[in-house]
Amino acid sequence: MRHLRYILGDQLSRDISSLRGLDPDTDVVLMAEVAEEAGYVRHHQQKIAFLFSAMRHFAEDLARRGVRVEYTKLDDPGNAGSFTGELERALRRHAIDHVVVTEPGEWRVLEAMRGWQERFDIPVHIRSDDRFFCSHDEFRAWAGDKRGFRMEFFYRAMRRKTGLLMEGGDPVGGQWNFDKDNRKSLPATLAPPPRLRFEPDAVTAEVLDLVRHRFGTNFGDLAPFGWATTRPEALLAFDHFILDCLPHFGDYQDAMRTDDGFLFHSLVSPYLNAGLLGPNEVCQRAQDAYEAGIAPLNAVEGFIRQILGWREYVRGVYWLKMPDYAATNALNAHRKLPALYWTGETDMNCLRQAVGDTRRQAYAHHIQRLMITGNFALLAGIEPAEVEEWYLAVYADAYEWVELPNVHGMVLFADGGLMGSKPYAAGGAYINRMTDYCGACTYDPAVRSGPTACPFTTLYWAFLIDNADKLSGNRRLAMPYRAIEKLGPEHRAALQAEARRFLDALPTDY
Ligand code: FAD
Ligand code: DLZ
Ligand code: SF4
């Protein structure tokens, strides 16, 4: 029996299910750089470079271990340009009895894969991706017929299942969640450590040339490129996080600072999502760091919650709710994405910083994504599909299974509250508390109308007024709605008009 084992760009794990049972004497592994994947959104240049370099290194590693790998580079003559086309070419080259793949991370790719068996008249085995803590069936059983699913309860179930940070049936430290300890603002005197970055080797240098040549007009700086592109490098980067950053990760998880886009975050999402690191090993290592006294419990619990809780939960929501999930638009938001998301050209310093970090690094940390670029998109009423396309393009870790629930559900509330009990809307006061951005801004976060008014503050109040029919009954928003009630109709209408004027003046062409 000859098996063709097809490995996608985010399946770079030696223990990926599609490789199980591989017979090196007969089987062929196929990997392909294809224009369709490189172009379904205009990915950040570093995202393409990271993935192609990691794919090439992974292929080399398999070949060194005696596996027959057929690797198509983007510029190879005859490259068919799609997963399906490359499979067709490979099936013409080899006498294959079975195709084996691991289920993809994205719905649109699964749809294509489901057509392969009939199209090529060959058995195609789509194996489940068991690199996650929670299977689709397990998530479906947990979700049951709940109307809204809260991450916190899912996370507790995952803690119990894995035993991570558990003492018998109880959470270590007597609490499931140390979130309230994880919202400190960053003291000006505390300097986060310089981050471990990697010099491009010959493989990466060749990919960088390719990306410069083929995708040089895509969003984002290509250089300096410092991402790990192999598993050993990713492990080194993670060691550095555990020793130098994890101890402060919890305290300053929600902080933001000018000219430091990384702070104490782990930067492991590109590696986890592409398969260079596994979620279980990173959680275990964080737990070991707690037990060895390297990092405090609020930091370790906070880190594990992101991976064991949020990451698994958003994947569960995605596969449970797709494809209908992407089509909802509960707040009826239809504005076009302002050009500033691509250009960074705005007087709003917080947005300039977040977009600038994104352009330079193909990375912004969670709170920048949620409370700066995300919050603005929510308050401005931008069409969900436009916001989603931006997030899918600009981050090195972006794949639809993780991007979509975060943007559609958590940020935009477009699912009407399936994921969150209220929108994460905030005005300038929150941003001022958590960042040093406002001090260097043209606007004043405490002012809500007039020429110096912080647009976030104006937009926040106008958003609540505009959406009162959908949100005023939400108990968690009772306080701001009481304040709105006190403003009186004229003041409310003036705020709405000011917000509209501001938004209408934002350029959308770039
Ligand atoms: P850390 O802060 O060090 O956290 C550790 C790990 O926890 C991350 O690597 C990630 O794997 C996981 N994690 C944390 N928060 C989340 C979350 N909300 N959902 C899923 N996993 C989480 N993450 C992606 O991997 N890809 C995306 O495309 C993506 N898009 C996002 C879009 C928006 C609008 C928001 C608000 C969040 C998004 N996230 C996404 C989640 C999160 O912002 C990133 O995982 C995180 O910033 C990556 O940086 P880090 O590795 O330094 O994370
Ligand atoms: C993101 C991406 C890009 C840019 N290019 C490729 C590629 O050329 N070949 C490939 O196998 N995978 C690529 N990927 C990752 C895929 O988009 C990803 O594997 C699927 O969308 C499933 O999640
Ligand atoms: Fe952003 Fe407003 Fe602060 Fe300026 S004042 S940085 S616009 S929150």
Distance 9 CA to ligand 2 centre (A): 5
Residue with the smallest CA separation from ligand 2 atom 15 is 9
Q: Are residues 384 and 258 in the same domain?
A: no
Rounded-to-integer distance, Cα 154 and Cα 77, Å: 48
Ligand 1 neighbours by CB, cut-off 6 Å: 265-269, 272-273, 303, 306-307, 310-311, 314, 365-366, 369-370, 374, 391, 395, 397-398, 402-403, 406-407, 410-411
Q: Which of 127, 152, 176 is the last residue of a domain?
A: 127
Ligand nearest to the CA of 353: 3
**How does residue 183 score in pLDDT terms, banded at 50, 70 and 90?**
confident
Rounded-to-integer distance, Cα 297 and Cα 290, Å: 6
Residue with the smallest CA separation from ligand 2 atom 4 is 38
pLDDT in tens, 118-133: 999 999 999 999 999 9
Contact in structure between 383 and 334 (CB atoms under 8 Å) = yes
Quickly tell me which residue has 């600009």 as its tokens.
394
Contacts of 49 (CB under 8 A, 6+ apart): 204, 207, 208, 211, 222, 225, 227
> Average pLDDT, stretch 445-449?
86
pLDDT in tens, 400-416: 999 999 999 999 999 99
**How does residue 182 score in pLDDT terms, banded at 50, 70 and 90?**
confident
Question: What is the domain-level CATH number for residue 53?
Answer: 3.40.50.620
Contact in structure between 101 and 124 (CB atoms under 8 Å) = yes
Nearest to 408 by CA among 398, 396, 420: 420
Domain assignment of residue 458, yes or no: yes
Determine the pLDDT at residue 181: 77
Q: Are residues 168 and 316 in the same domain?
A: yes
Given the CA of residue 36, which atom of ligand 2 is nearest to it? Answer: 8
Q: Are residues 290 and 409 in the same domain?
A: no
Residue with the smallest CA separation from ligand 1 atom 29 is 403
Q: Based on C-alpha coordinates, what's the Rg of the chain?
A: 24
Tokens coding 178: 């140390």
Residue 184 has pLDDT above 90, yes or no: no
pLDDT in tens, 333-346: 999 999 999 999 99
Residue 448 has pLDDT above 90, yes or no: no
Residue with the smallest CA separation from ligand 2 atom 14 is 9
Q: Which of 127, 158, 180 is the last residue of a domain?
A: 127
Domain assignment of residue 326, yes or no: no
Residue with the smallest CA separation from ligand 2 atom 2 is 37
Residues of the chain with pLDDT > 70, as a percent, come to 100
Question: What is the domain-level CATH number for residue 423?
Answer: 1.10.579.10
Q: Are residues 236 and 166 in the same domain?
A: yes
Determine the pLDDT at residue 1: 80
**How does residue 353 score in pLDDT terms, banded at 50, 70 and 90?**
very high
pLDDT in tens, 280-335: 999 999 999 999 999 999 999 999 999 999 999 999 999 999 999 999 999 999 99
Q: Are residues 178 and 278 in the same domain?
A: yes
Range of the domain at 411: 340-504
Ligand 3 neighbours by CB, cut-off 6 Å: 348-350, 428, 431-432, 437-438, 441, 443, 445, 454-456
Given the CA of residue 372, which atom of ligand 3 is nearest to it? Answer: 1
- Mutate which of 5, 16, 29, 37 for ligand 2? The one with the most ligand atoms within 8 Å of its CB, which is 37
Domain assignment of residue 218, yes or no: no
Domain assignment of residue 9, yes or no: yes
Question: What is the domain-level CATH number for residue 244?
Answer: 1.25.40.80
Domain assignment of residue 148, yes or no: yes
Q: Are residues 369 and 278 in the same domain?
A: no
Q: Are residues 481 and 386 in the same domain?
A: yes
Q: Is 106 in the pocket of ligand 2 (CB under 6 A)?
A: yes
Residue with the smallest CA separation from ligand 3 atom 2 is 454
**How does residue 148 score in pLDDT terms, banded at 50, 70 and 90?**
confident
> Average pLDDT, stretch 414-421?
92
Q: Are residues 271 and 412 in the same domain?
A: no
How many domains would you assign to the chain? Answer: 3
> Average pLDDT, stretch 345-351?
97
Domain assignment of residue 400, yes or no: yes
Q: Give me the chain's average pLDDT, please.
A: 96
> Average pLDDT, stretch 353-376?
97
Domain assignment of residue 259, yes or no: yes
Distance 368 CA to ligand 3 centre (A): 13
SS3 call for 71? strand
What residues form DSSP beta bridges with 100? 5, 125
> Average pLDDT, stretch 437-452?
91
Residue with the smallest CA separation from ligand 1 atom 18 is 310
Rounded-to-integer distance, Cα 372 and Cα 323, Å: 28
Q: Are residues 250 and 386 in the same domain?
A: no
Ligand nearest to the CA of 40: 2
Q: Is 37 in the pocket of ligand 2 (CB under 6 A)?
A: yes
| DSSP percent split of the chain into helix, strand, coil, nearest 5 | 55, 5, 40
Q: Which of 86, 110, 127 is the last residue of a domain?
A: 127
Q: Are residues 370 and 239 in the same domain?
A: no
Distance 58 CA to ligand 2 centre (A): 14
Q: Is 105 in the pocket of ligand 2 (CB under 6 A)?
A: yes
Distance 351 CA to ligand 3 centre (A): 8
Domain assignment of residue 215, yes or no: no
Q: Is 33 in the pocket of ligand 2 (CB under 6 A)?
A: yes
Q: Are residues 26 and 77 in the same domain?
A: yes
Rounded-to-integer distance, Cα 421 and Cα 285, Å: 32
Q: Are residues 369 and 465 in the same domain?
A: yes
